[in-house]
Amino acid sequence: MDKLFGKYDFTVDIKDKSLAQVVSLKPIAIPHSAGRHMKKVLGKASVNIIERLANKLMRGGTGEKTSGKVIRTHGNLQGKKLKVLRVVEKALDIVAEQTKENPIQVFIKALENSAPREDVTRVSYGGVSYQIAVDLSATRRLDMALRNMTLAAIMGSFNKPKSLADSLASEIIFTAKGDLQNSYAMKKRDETERMARSAR
């Protein structure tokens, strides 16, 4: 059976049953499918979860203020899959070294801890717009968790001596532990769910 980067086993346990439907743990040595899922409806659910993490890292910053600052990657990561995969491999090595566990299992635990269950959406009724609370689908929950974790990694290394791999590893470890003080993704999850509660 293929091991991720020839090191890590994909036999991990997913406790969150709704996420288990959309998290692909297909054994693969190099997580790169060259976008073969693009034309299929919900094709991304069949893409390996580590590749989805790498894909989320290939972004051009936010272009808007996030936590009080504008993040710009200046094209350092966009489209550079090999570079991003090296960052992910290094981050997983750091996670394995610090936790002495399978880093894929730690990453899955982090996803379970940072995936929000509720969000708000805007509806118009009689010319007036309202915010209402809605339950999130499993794919949306996973997308939001991945986005928040990668955004935290980019923000943590932006204009700082800390490397992107170190920043990503720290975010994965803090989120997996449920450390609300240091985990950006968990803070965003709580913020989203708080807004949904107030819009009920």
Give the model's pLDDT for residue 33.
77
Angle (CA) 59-64-66 rounded to 5° is 85
pTM across the whole model: 0.82
Q: Between β-strands 65-66 and 128-135, what pairing exists: parallel, antiparallel or unpaired? A: unpaired
- Which class does domain 55-198 fall in? mainly alpha
- Residue 11 CA to residue 9 CA, distance in Å, equals 6
Give the residue extent of every domain in the chain.
55-198
Contacts within 8 Å (CB) and 24+ apart, 36-43: 42/139
Per-residue confidence in pLDDT tens, the chain, 200 aa = 577 777 878 788 888 888 888 887 777 787 777 777 777 877 777 788 888 888 888 876 555 555 556 666 665 666 778 888 888 888 888 888 888 888 888 888 888 888 888 888 888 888 888 888 888 888 888 888 888 888 888 887 777 778 888 888 888 888 888 878 888 888 888 888 888 888 77
